[in-house]
């Protein structure tokens, strides 16, 4: 399956993407995670991304699209993929359409995670990530680690993302409204969008997402519910 997960910051895209991708045995491709990996390496792409990410703005399209083209050219995507954080504006959506058309391929589904804006800042303020594995995500209130500051899964140190502070989160929300919301309309025009409430537990949202893509009840998705 070829799936796009879309939604404002704080909707839980990363949390759900990890579980959905594991359930469907397809790679989880997160532009945010790819940028953070380059930023940690301090390479040219990472330095370009760093400025935009810290400001809560989009990384320039030419950089982002080239990175995704390279990633989607790898053989592990032949059986499908789950895109998390891409496309984030209409130019990116059009580039993806062209790429898929060129490969005689097409999207199966676009899942639009919905969350009231009033929830976003508190959700993000409590978010903590593991330094050892980008897929181990916690929340101080909603899914706290058993030991403060330590990842339950691997014992890694938990940290707060540089762009998860309130002023930057508000900027990311503005960018979402202006640039990313039109992407949902673009795919709605193609009949691909299912809107899902991002409220409730991780398991509840996962069940909704699986139902939306015709995969029924969540079973054996391979990660603890935290
Ligand atoms: P969130 O969805 O919670 O905002 P992400 O990890 O998806 O977090 O993205 C973090 C930052 O990475 C974004 O604010 C932006 O600066 C950059 N980014 C991620 N995906 C894209 C993209 N498709 N195009 C441009 N910039 C992106």
Residue 72 domain flag: no
Sign of the CA dihedral with 138 first, then 141, 143, and 149 last: positive
The whole-chain average pLDDT of the chain stands at 92
Following DSSP, what letter does each residue of 175-190 receive, concatenated?
HIIIIIHHHHHHHHTT
What is the whole-number distance in angstroms between the Cα of residue 2 and the centre of ligand 1? 20
| Ligand 1 first shell, C-beta below 6 A | 9, 13, 31-32, 35, 52-53, 56-59, 64, 85-86, 88, 92, 163, 172
Say what the pLDDT of residue 222 is: 46
Owner of token pair 């309130």: 166
What is the whole-number distance in angstroms between the Cα of residue 49 and the centre of ligand 1? 10
pLDDT in tens, 58-101: 999 999 999 999 999 999 999 999 999 999 999 999 999 999 99
> What is the Cα–Cα distance from 49 to 35, expressed in whole angstroms?
6
User: Which ligand 1 atom lies nearest to the CA of residue 164?
Assistant: 3
Mean pLDDT of 139-163: 94
Residue 74 domain flag: no
Say what the pLDDT of residue 157 is: 97
Question: What's the pLDDT band for 165 if we cut at 50, 70, 90?
Answer: confident
> What is the Cα–Cα distance from 93 to 193, expressed in whole angstroms?
14
- Of 107, 67, 65, the closest CA to residue 90 belongs to 65
Write the CATH number for 87.
3.40.50.300
Mean pLDDT of 134-144: 89
Q: Are strands 193-197 and 109-114 parallel, antiparallel or unpaired?
A: parallel
Say what the pLDDT of residue 114 is: 95
Domain range for 157 is 2-26+79-212
> What is the Cα–Cα distance from 189 to 185, expressed in whole angstroms?
6
Structure tokens at 5: 């997960």
Residue 164 domain flag: yes
Question: How many Å is the Cα radius of gyration of the chain?
Answer: 17
Q: Would you say residue 216 has pLDDT above 90?
A: no
Order of strands across the sheet that contains 2-6: 28-30, 81-84, 2-6, 109-114, 193-197
Q: Helix (H, G, I), strand (E, B), or coil: what is residue 66?
A: helix
Residue 170 domain flag: yes
First to last CA, the chain: 25
Say what the pLDDT of residue 225 is: 41
Residue 157 domain flag: yes
Task: For ligand 1, atom 18, name the residue with the nearest CA.
Answer: 32
Sign of the CA dihedral with 162 first, then 164, 169, and 175 last: positive
Mean pLDDT of 22-41: 95
Say what the pLDDT of residue 217 is: 67
Residue 38 domain flag: no
Residue 205 domain flag: yes
- Of 137, 109, 123, 98, the closest CA to residue 15 belongs to 137
Q: Would you say residue 102 has pLDDT above 90?
A: yes
Count of domains observed in the chain:
1
Residue 139 domain flag: yes
Beta bridge partners of 158: 130
Beta bridge partners of 109: 3
> What is the Cα–Cα distance from 162 to 9, expressed in whole angstroms?
14
Owner of token pair 């997160």: 30
Q: Would you say residue 108 has pLDDT above 50?
A: yes
């Amino acid at each position: 399956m070829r799936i796009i997960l879309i939604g404002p910051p704080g909707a839980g895209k990363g949390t759900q993407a990890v579980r959905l991708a594991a359930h469907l045995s397809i790679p989880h491709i997160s532009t945010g995670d790819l940028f953070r990996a380059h930023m940690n390496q301090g390479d040219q792409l990472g330095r370009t991304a760093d400025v935009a990410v810290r400001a809560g703005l989009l990384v320039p399209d030419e950089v982002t699209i080239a990175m995704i083209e390279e990633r989607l050219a790898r053989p592990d995507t032949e059986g499908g993929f789950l895109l998390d954080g891409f496309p984030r504006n209409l130019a990116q959506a059009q580039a993806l359409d062209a790429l898929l058309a060129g490969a005689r391929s097409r999207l199966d589904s676009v899942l639009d995670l919905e969350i009231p804006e009033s929830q976003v800042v508190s959700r993000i303020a409590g978010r903590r990530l593991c330094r050892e594995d980008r897929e181990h995500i916690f929340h101080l209130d909603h899914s706290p680690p058993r030991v403060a500051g330590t990842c339950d899964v691997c014992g890694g140190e938990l940290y707060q993302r540089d762009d998860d502070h309130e002023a930057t989160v508000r900027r990311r929300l503005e960018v979402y409204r202006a640039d990313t919301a039109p992407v949902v309309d673009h795919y709605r025009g193609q009949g691909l969008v299912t809107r899902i409430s991002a409220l409730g537990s991780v398991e509840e949202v996962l069940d909704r997402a699986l139902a939306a893509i015709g995969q029924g009840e969540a079973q054996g998705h391979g990660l603890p519910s935290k």
